[in-house]
Chain A
Amino acid sequence: MSIPRTTPRAVVRIGAVALTGVLLAACGSGSGSDGASSGDAAGGDVTLTVDLFGSFGYQEAGLYAEYEQLHPGVKIKQTDTEDEQDYWKSLQTRLAGGGGLADVQAIEVGRIASVTQQQGGKFVDLNQYGAGTLKAEFAPAKWSAAATKDGKVLGLGTDVGPEAMCYRRDLFQAAGLPTDRTELAARWATWDGYLELGRQYKEKAPAGSSWIDSVGSLNAIMVGQQKERYYDASGALIYENSPAVKAAWDASVKAAGEGLSAKLDQWSPPWNQAFASGSFATLPCPAWMLGYIKGQAGDAGQGKWDVAKLPGGAGNWGGSYLAVPSVAKHKKEAYELIKWLTAPEQQTKVFRKQGNFPSATRSIGQIADAKDPYFSGAPIGQIFGDAAEQAPVQVLGLHDKDIADQINNALSEVERKGTAPETAWSNAKKAVKNALG
């Protein structure tokens, strides 16, 4: 009976090891050694995996092909999740399990505090590859947000999200509104002016078209105009009484109540389809949204869109980092890749192709004169450049993105179900409490 007896025991042992591995997963810190990977790479072929969300524009700008040409033997494979919420969930699960991670993982700025404060051990300290010398290349706030208290550098900045207002010239014209971006900027110098134009639009709007895609986007862009939002500088949670959050909420609720919104859910399939069908006339747009519009509206949208200065001053919404997980297979090569992708020259290329606004200071200087034919020749370099310069340096908190998501969800209740704003706000507070635990 020796065989049947030992086999089960081995099975138990293997099963137990496997399970402990999965369940206790994150207890073990990344133990992969980089020596092995960098050593092998010198001669043989390396396939670097890059896992992103939204649209970073590297593929569109041809940067992977260029990098592969510059580095024979390196192949790059990209995966992309549209919705950052889904992306983050799956990234966290894989970080906890320690498997299935790409060599390069993107991190949204709303999550970077969670990474630097809670997951310092799960990403490579890029200083060990000499990232420190790059510091001068980046805007100081961008750089310091990805650094831990003890000086580790966990990510390199890709873009920032200076804010503007994107709009459809053709729909404006059809509704008898001015289409000139300077005139519009003057008319909507304040958010009240913007909502007033929206009312005028609604009166003569083409059938099936609303003023704004969703009040969630209005809320997000307004919150982005403030320095302090959900947390104060000491790290205390202040969103319930924050005037910035309240002002954005009130304006959004107002827009919903007046029926100015197309009631779409951002990043959902119906939202994506609406870019081409003209369901909305304005879309509050951080710079990275330009590439998304191009992707969704397609060639047919060329020349129909335009960009104007944002009502109510400059702001920042989003922007990202590229990081290398500690368990990545090819850490050194991954670092080389992200160093190259976030270098000023490449950031400039991405901006010219996709609109993602550079976080590298030298690059910002290079693009001041950029115009985008897709957006009716709008001087995007100047519009977003001014916004980036004037945008407040935001206080980042541990759960910025979670709070924003829950508030956004409550706003959807108001706009799609007609829930009373007070009820929705108390729902939002409950949901935030539930999410933060």
Chain B
Amino acid sequence: MTKRNEIDALRNLSGDIWNVAVDEYAKGYLKRRDLFKYAALIGLTGFAASQGLGFSGQARAATAGGTVRVGLGQPTKAIDPVTVTDPASIGVLSQVGEYLILDDPKDGLQPKLALSWEADETAKRWTFKLRPGVKFHDGRTVTAKDVVASFERLVDPNSGSSALSAYKGILSKGGAKIVDDETVAFDLDQSNSNFPFYVSSDVYNAVILPADYAGDFEKNFNGTGPFKLESFRPKQGASFVRNPDYWGDKALPDRVEIKFFDDEQAQVVALQAGQLDVIPSTTRLELAIEGNANFKLLSVQASSHDAVHLRTDQAPFTDKRIRRALALTLDREAIVKGLLKGRAIVGNDTPFAPIFPSADSSVPQRKQDIAEAKRLLAEAGVPNGFEVTLTTERAYDIPDYAVIIQNFAKKAGIDIKLNVLPQDAYYGSATFGSSPWLDSNLGITDFGHRGTPDIFLNATLKSDGAWNSAHFKNADYDALLVEYGKARDLQAQRIAAGKIQTLLLDETPEIISYFSQYSRIASAKVEGVRFTAISHLLLDRVSFVQA
């Protein structure tokens, strides 16, 4: 039987850890795509290619040439990979900067400057083989020294690195080591089976830069990417040309031209007038192109979500029955369909988005149940409901989401007053005691996409988490996190995940009712625009449709 042969062939590829995944795939528990993603995670990079999975560059032959014109927001500061945080800067950076690994929203982890990777038995030491012969735009060859320096810079508390919170408790200064010119090892602070995600594009600051990088990136945009700098005009825009010395398939377009806009309306108008090919997307802009065949909306599923925190140490939410009652009032399907126009998946009050292979899909989905909510409120001694203030930020769809929650909560007698603040006022100083985000009784906070749930799990819900706005302190949860981090294979990860999901569903320190998609708007004339859910914009495979 071919099926049997295929499974056996797969089994021969690697050791025990891999075979668990293969078995799951054979039994139908694991989808083919997730198997590929998992293969990438444990470093079986040749595997996916051998299975004929269309990787970048292997797609149909496309015509080369032309200039891709892109609209982006205004970068909020000088573009420097070490401190970058805003979507526009990440979009610019994607043209020239590369990572060890790309977390592709379709195909999972893709080897870039790293060729392969593996962990030791404890998942505490990870070793990466670098791709030989990769050159920076200034002509120097990338070596282990550059890679180690890039990561040492990011975990140095004095560098002003904005990746510091991502690496907290995972990687510290001195953790990255040169093994030889083409091999780098990472000694982690604690076991982590998802570490490849941490050196991937998911940590958008982890661009590989020369060892002697001095913080003046805007001068020459010296990276390894498929395009190199032509000109940069601060506050105005940048242009890039094809890098003839690129290690991989050369970029199809001759040039990329990026223009910065202060106003999103101006972007969509410029797109409509044919002066731009690609712009970011928001629900407001989507209305402008809806039903127009000249434009298309491109989307990738993300783990982005708006987390509703309930302060577990403050009345009325000290009683978990009250927290559950509020969560039970929401009709999640309706929210996804109405608020998010269907471009989202329903959440189950934990950061384990269904797109994570480690999420345990057997945990029952919480659904709207007003009768049960009322019963829980009565049991908790507040049969007639209560009054509470929901504090949040005026950004994206959040104010509308707040009103929706207000209306659903009313059905169980919970009377929510809204306090919608400007975004920076809501975050305040982002430290406990002087931040409505971290101090409010009930709040909604936007979290961008991550490739693994680790940062959400650690920072927002762990007892000493820096973003623990629910003030959730639970020793069992903290212990389960350690178990999850140590789990070396997918099955063990999923068992730990299931326990965490069940515990969070029972305790409900947070309500997560959806995970939204990330979109961009493009002219129908361009093909091959790729992007990640955290603002990377990959244009090297773009071609123009002939009229």
Tell me if chain B binds chain A.
Answer: no
